Structure 1
Amino acid sequence: MSGDDRRLLIVEDDASLARTLLRSFERRGYAITHAANPNELSALVEAGRQFDYAVIDLKLGTASGLTCVQSLHRAAPATLIVVLTGFASIATAVEAIKLGASYYLAKPANTDDIEDAFGKSQGDPDVPVEGRKSSIKTVEWEYIQTTLAECDFNISEAARRLGMHRRTLARKLDKRQIR
């Protein structure tokens, strides 16, 4: 595929990161379109815009990037979608793949990582299975992420379901952010 044929959609609410990704992928010959939220993505999909590749942030302000993965995959199943997140968990990775993402990357990830992920549209049965046990903190984090996904990332509702104060949940989420 020549550079002019590589149409990339970036769905990212952080203007600085979006600009960085945009510049980096443009230098590599991609034609870039940026959407900052699910509504902007919906407008692009409704207008019939087609993309070969997409990078979608998992957390878009108070919205979930999973809805973007789902709508883009429905509109264009051939688009290779990579979910990029600072809130990585097994639960959200599984949901992203089920909804149509090709790959899931935790931040920090650079352009090379993302471009490599585009080439990994098929599973690899030779990936080593690690026998390391999950720590209690990891299990807790994954349970919180599962609950958040079930609540469509509504922190107040997730805190209620988890039986903790909203501020406590917010502090736990802030501690684990990967930027």
Structure 2
Amino acid sequence: ILDIMMPQMNGIDAAFKIREEKNMPIIMLSAKSEDMDKISGLTAGADDYLTKPFNPLELIARVKSQIRRYKKYNERAERDIIQIGDLEINRSTRLVFVRGQEIRLTPKEFDILELLVRHKGTVMSVGKIYEAVWQEDAFKSDNTVMVHITKIREKIEDNPKKPIYIKTIWGVGYRI
């Protein structure tokens, strides 16, 4: 909840600052009730605008409404983000981060990593990985999966020779 007339930084500037980094509900509260004041507040990133004087119960209802909307909107996004240690995979944006640093993967590398993450703890054979990612019979795979796993490890592991995320299960396949 921001007031347009706050000390040090006004609510409009605060809303712009918040929107640079965060996606959270903002309710602008102000004695300024002119249309242009409301438009400025909403344009700055406020989700709602309430003028003084107001009924405290109305403010509570608006806060609850914004929280409900925020939770519903972000519920799917949270399901799409999978965290394993310092590794974060966002399935909807297809972005991968290690300790907050974005890691650039090719589409096939992402598909392999995402497949392993979805089956965390399960050993996936090279054939199953190939068929799931390339949508072709595994007999065409040669060393394709192994080469891709090596490249993924080089990008996400601190020491690709001693991986902590993608483990090789000798004679069987790979596991997260």
TM-score (norm 1): 0.33
TM-score (norm 2): 0.34
Of structures 1 and 2, the one with the larger relative CO (CA 8 A, separation 6+) is 1
Q: Which has the larger radius of gyration?
A: 2
